[in-house]
Structure 1
Amino acid sequence: MATRIRTSVIMGMAVAAAVTAGCSGTGSPAAERSAPAGSSSSGVAQDKAVPTESNPPGDIPDNQAYVAFHGSGFTVKVPEGWARTQRAGATVFTDKLNTVRIETAAASAAPTVGSVTNTVVPRLRSQVPKFAAPRVSEVTRHAGRVVLLTYRGDSSKDPVTGKVVRDAFERYAFQRSGHEVDLTLSGPAGADNVDPWRTISDSFAWR
């Protein structure tokens, strides 16, 4: 009888020891599942770090300054510091992937949605690589009513990198007293330039 009691006590002590070891072991599967590999205090800090902010290619900075360009009988604001060139009778301002193009011409009649659709669109279709998605409408700017043509097309090949960019275009046709000014704004499709393009097109004024 005494022998059976001692045997029971010894077995009970062995089971308790095994349970205690299983609960406190650092190499158990349960412990591995609760602490994923590679986790550390430095890893947590990296997860919470704010990523560096960067603008998509073609975005004009919000703090861009503008200066007045004085043309024949008109003024318009253009981004300060952009390179200025003359191309085929047009004054062009460029910076990286963005362009402001100003052209003047004699025009006895004011442009209309119909005239731009029937004359300007076919001409651009033959001049602009992969010309697409033309849309002509009338809009109002500070200078008054203006005909707006929006479209897409490929840029010229970069002479250094050889890259071609898909551009979005806004072409505004202003007219007064037989004098027409065509203001074309362009930059990479998808760039957030709504506000800068509005600033420029709204700044146009006859003088």
Structure 2
Amino acid sequence: MNDPKDDLQHIRQMMERSSRFISLNGLSGVAAGTIALIGAAIAYWLFQQHNIDYFSGNRYTYNYALEWKLILLAAVVLILAVGSGILFTIQKSKRNGLKIWTSTTRLLLSHLLTPLIAGGLFCMALFYHGLFGLIAPATLLFYGLALINAAKYTFSDIQYLGYCETFLGIIAAFIPGYGLVFWALGFGILHIIYGLLMYKKYK
């Protein structure tokens, strides 16, 4: 005869699987954070190539060529980070025999993408008006809000990363000119720490 406690635990696990996307892999956070740090290092190198001392405290007007190099770099970093996340997620799903595309996945993506798309359009407006110093804070802020918004459809731990990203974005908005530093902290260091903790907890 089955132990009622075991049956309840099994039912609880089934409900968890049906209501939450549990295929996220902590290693994807580590990979995304590493890619972000490499991207930040390349961005700093680009500043030097254009004779800009980023940490001098001076406010520079970036030329057209540098602006588009930074945009291209951000796009490449985004594609590589998202690609690595998808790869690790697929591997974990196959290993655990879980389906990736479910109603829960759709809910997760809709709640995640809504703030991200709004944030992306807002950053385009900032770029259009030449408010470059607020772009990095805005990306952190909207990314954090997106994680908080989507946390109820995956591991609840992700909301804490969202709070940290949002907090960093708000601080960065009050310290213009050091967005790259906060960007590296938020998308780089925090992602790596979070990824390692998640990998250890849910491996």
Tell me which of the two structures has the higher relative contact order, counting C-alpha pairs closer than 8 angstroms and 6 or more residues apart: 2
| TM-score (normalizing by structure 2) | 0.27
Structure ranking higher in strand proportion: 1
| TM-score (normalizing by structure 1) | 0.27
Structure ranking higher in helix proportion: 2
